[in-house]
Amino acid sequence: MRQVKVFLNEDEIPRKWYNIMADLPTPMSPPLHPGTGQPLKPEDMAQIFPMNLIEQEMSPERWIDIPEEVLEKLLLWRPSPLCRAYNFEKALNAPVKIYYKHEGTSPAGSHKPNTAVAQAYYNKEFGIKKISTETGAGQWGSALSMACNMFGIECRVFMVRVSFDQKPYRRLMMQTWGAECFSSPSSQTEVGKKILAENPDSPGSLGIAISEAIEDIMGKEDARYSLGSVLNHVLLHQTIIGLEAQQQLGKIGEYPDVVIGCAGGGSNFAGLSLPFVRDKINGKEIAIVAAEPTSCPSLTRAPFGYDFGDLAQTTPLLAMHTLGHDFVPAPIHAGGLRYHGMAPIVSHLVKERLVEARSYHQIETFDAGIKWARTEGFIPAPETSHAIAAVVEEARRAKEEGKEKVILFNWSGHGLVDLLSYDAYFSGKLTNYTLPDEEIDRAKKLVAQFPSP
Amino acid sequence: MRQVKVFLNEDEIPRKWYNIMADLPTPMSPPLHPGTGQPLKPEDMAQIFPMNLIEQEMSPERWIDIPEEVLEKLLLWRPSPLCRAYNFEKALNAPVKIYYKHEGTSPAGSHKPNTAVAQAYYNKEFGIKKISTETGAGQWGSALSMACNMFGIECRVFMVRVSFDQKPYRRLMMQTWGAECFSSPSSQTEVGKKILAENPDSPGSLGIAISEAIEDIMGKEDARYSLGSVLNHVLLHQTIIGLEAQQQLGKIGEYPDVVIGCAGGGSNFAGLSLPFVRDKINGKEIAIVAAEPTSCPSLTRAPFGYDFGDLAQTTPLLAMHTLGHDFVPAPIHAGGLRYHGMAPIVSHLVKERLVEARSYHQIETFDAGIKWARTEGFIPAPETSHAIAAVVEEARRAKEEGKEKVILFNWSGHGLVDLLSYDAYFSGKLTNYTLPDEEIDRAKKLVAQFPSP
């Protein structure tokens, strides 16, 4: 009988995260203090993040120990299975082997808890009793709620009002895990109150929600903010995905020709791919592909430069591919990919041509996701379907070239709580969006105001 | 580091289902033809089920081979992990070890696909091209949709209108897997048209939906009906759960003192417990507990007798615990436990005192389910929370008795698509229901019309 899944035993789970900082052929441009324009010092972030996570954010060490307490929680669902998609391969009728890392097996249904658990732990260690964060569709808010609950930390989530009203399921996950979830703009903060006073019907935005979450913790000794993607330490925590995958492939004597992940802020893509980028730096021949939406093409079309991570300009200036911190992406259903910027690490790797970026239209991603559900069973999240669309393209290329290929991709999460987006697809309501060139020009002008990386 | 999960490798997956018919100390009362009152003959069911499944339904063989084609599909998510609930144990502060079989890892999120895949395969083998079924909340309809899609069979699901309108998620799962899902009563059948003519606003019922599904296939050479619980062959297909669990416990040198499952039609309970019932028949000391809702107490309060499996009286007469085929259960959120009868096998085992039944109120099951989510992470389905409530009770007893106990239960499915029921809990809208004695008397009178088993 053919082998479908490769399990790792629990005692084979990676004990260290991989930090690509130690292996980059060229150094990254450091984050800058927006006031002074100088490289950021650890103490500049001390009000927002606990110092142990700030140290991790800036660490040059190649391997960083995963604390036992974190491993213990990760073991509730990790190591995640590596699976071979025989049925999908057959449907594509191309000379490819397709392996996927199944991150949908976590309690929240995505890869997000990998970093949520680690962040909650480090905050706890640092004496933090309350964490605030923002969430759009709720993937990150729900993952952090679960993690905070595990470590006895109070969790407050500011959820963009339009999602809060229209998507009750992830809000209910947060509540089930004991967090408080506020419709943002809320009356919990000054910024929220001000916006509500001006416009009681404000639908909210991620920018507003970030501002609320940060205001909510500022000046409080035992409260901090938490971010679910983009930053170095978040990507670091996700490398357990790729490290497990390398062990699992090793067990069956395989190595991928192509590694694929979808990229919004960059964390699931980096989580799978960074250990393979290391191999590439060390001479391995391997293609590493980030798949993003055509409607929000930070990697494929936007300039590389310094920009803020948020609308309210509260973050440091980060060197990254960015559509501009005030960019409003089209309302595609892959909420997790609707981010104006891209993780500095991923941006740097694209700039250095270690990673290749491609973009996909919304409808072709749903085509790919439904083909997947109808062959492999599991229903992917709309974000994950971008990676699947890239797999379909790779398979087609392999067929055209008559070349056998081994493809590995990150199945970052299931779509059971996103099924209304499938409804939109079936009822013909989905649209493709292509960004006009003027938007790119606008982004170029915006980053030109800041120092050049 | 403590071990949380026991995996089986794919080559350790059970190759045979276990049929308890071969080991029962006393014979079961056979199903009867409702017209003649005589034991049912295989040909009596030939219009409704394919003959290969009818043979399985009546088989006396202890072990029945799982076809390779079925195993191949089950391997998409099986063997499922056996997990130890250390965090839940700690929260209960009782001298118990709690193991659970995690059936929430399937694409549909529950144990239902175990039999759906097998049934779709046997129908395909028999030349069937179309399967119709009914579904309430949609757990069964979605599982069968996925399975039919895997084997290229057309699937038509009649979904009770009130759920069709209020619970779009599982309907969308069916659609994603390529099935047609009709709001029942529908205009697809004569019975549906008749009801709609009389009452265009009919909310539908499981009874109506079954009648529609059966009418939809009657008299068609290449179409058959499929049922997701109650029948012997359905329970048989679910025994893979208990067989895997026995192997997994064996690997760590454990054996349970108590085995627990929630019971609606009986399939997930039987799936885990039947292999342990066999041990009990062979002399092992073990308690086996079926947990049902207080509002629908077929095992704990209803008479044992012959009754129909459905409102429309289209099924054979089955010897079982039954609240009467026209019983309308209270609107509890555990839709999968709202069934008037109970699998004949499970009913027989309760009558023979090999299985013990207990009932739990809705609110205490949610209390237990939320305690679970807040310790172990995974959010249980409302049905599963009945089993968790029984675990809580067992732990309390162990503490009172000062006795160490090993508990094993079936974590039958996740509740991510049932989160609106958690909303009802958090907003204080949940109610407990106790069935008045008159309902039990009514059921006794009803079964008294039929032959005595």
User: Which residue from A minimizes the CA distance to B91?
Assistant: A150
- Our CA-based measurement puts residue A211 at a distance from the nearest CA of chain B, in whole angstroms, of 28
- Number of inter-chain CB pairs under 8 A, A vs B: 127
* Spatial distance between the Cα atoms of B205 and B192, rounded to a whole number of angstroms: 11
pLDDT tens, residue order, chain B (453 aa): 899 999 999 999 999 999 999 999 999 999 999 889 999 999 999 999 999 999 999 999 999 999 999 999 999 999 999 999 999 999 999 999 999 999 999 999 999 999 999 999 999 999 999 999 999 889 999 999 999 999 999 999 999 998 898 888 999 999 999 999 999 999 999 999 999 999 999 888 888 898 899 999 999 999 999 999 999 999 999 999 999 999 999 999 999 999 999 999 999 999 999 999 999 999 999 999 999 999 999 999 999 999 998 888 888 999 999 999 989 888 888 888 989 999 999 999 999 999 999 999 999 999 999 999 999 999 999 999 999 999 999 999 999 999 999 999 999 999 999 999 999 999 999 999 999 999 999 999 999 999 999
**Six token digits for residue B304:** 């044992």
If you ran DSSP here, which 8-state letter would residue A29 be given? P
Q: Please check whether residue A137 is in contact with residue A111, taking contact to mean a CB–CB distance below 8 angstroms.
A: no
Judging contacts by C-beta atoms under 8 Å, the chain A residues touching residue B7 are 7, 9
Judging contacts by C-beta atoms under 8 Å, the chain B residues touching residue A178 are 374
Alpha-helix residue ranges (DSSP H) falling in A12-138: 51-57, 68-74, 86-92, 113-125
Judging contacts by C-beta atoms under 8 Å, the chain A residues touching residue B416 are 109, 169, 173, 416-417
CA neighbor of B343 nearest in space, from B224, B438, B238: B238
Alpha-helix residue ranges (DSSP H) falling in B323-381: 344-351, 362-376
* Structure confidence by residue, pLDDT tens digits, A27-68: 999 999 988 999 999 999 999 999 999 999 999 999 999 999
Class of domain B5-9+67-109+233-447 as given by CATH: alpha beta
Question: Considering CB atoms only, which of B3, B177, B376 is closest to A373?
Answer: B177
Judging contacts by C-beta atoms under 8 Å, the chain B residues touching residue A422 are 172, 175-176
Burial of B282 (0-12, 13-18, 19+ CB in 10 A): exposed
CB contact under 8 A, A76 and B378: yes
- Our CA-based measurement puts residue B4 at a distance from the nearest CA of chain A, in whole angstroms, of 6
* Spatial distance between the Cα atoms of A397 and A405, rounded to a whole number of angstroms: 10
Amino acid letter, residue A180: E
ipTM of the complex: 0.96
DSSP codes, A343-366: -HHHHHHHHTTSSEEEEE-HHHHH
Beta-carbon count within 10 A of B130 CB: 16
Question: Considering CB atoms only, which of B149, B422, B423 is closest to A374?
Answer: B149
DSSP codes, A257-302: SEEEEE-SSSHHHHHHHHHHHHHHHTT---EEEEEEETTS-HHHHS
Predicted local distance difference test score (pLDDT) of residue B1: 81
* Spatial distance between the Cα atoms of B296 and B300, rounded to a whole number of angstroms: 9
* Maximum Cα interatomic distance, chain A, rounded to a whole number of Å: 65
* Structure confidence by residue, pLDDT tens digits, B299-337: 999 999 999 988 888 889 999 999 999 898 888 888 889
CB contact under 8 A, B76 and A376: yes
Domain boundaries, chain B: 5-9+67-109+233-447
- Reported in sequence order, the residue ranges of A80-139 that DSSP labels E, i.e. its strands, are 82-84, 96-102, 130-135
- Our CA-based measurement puts residue A176 at a distance from the nearest CA of chain B, in whole angstroms, of 6
User: Which residue from A minimizes the CA distance to B375?
Assistant: A150
CA neighbor of A228 nearest in space, from A383, A378, A39: A383
Q: Is B72 left (phi over 0), alpha (psi -120 to 50) or beta?
A: alpha
Peptide bond into A185 cis (omega under 30): yes
- Our CA-based measurement puts residue A62 at a distance from the nearest CA of chain B, in whole angstroms, of 24
Question: Considering CB atoms only, which of A2, A10, A177 is closest to B374?
Answer: A177
Residue keyed to tokens 């992917």? A380
What is the β-pairing status of strands A356-360 and A223-225? unpaired
Whether this prediction's pTM lies above 0.95 is answered by yes
- The segments of chain A whose pLDDT lies below 70 read none
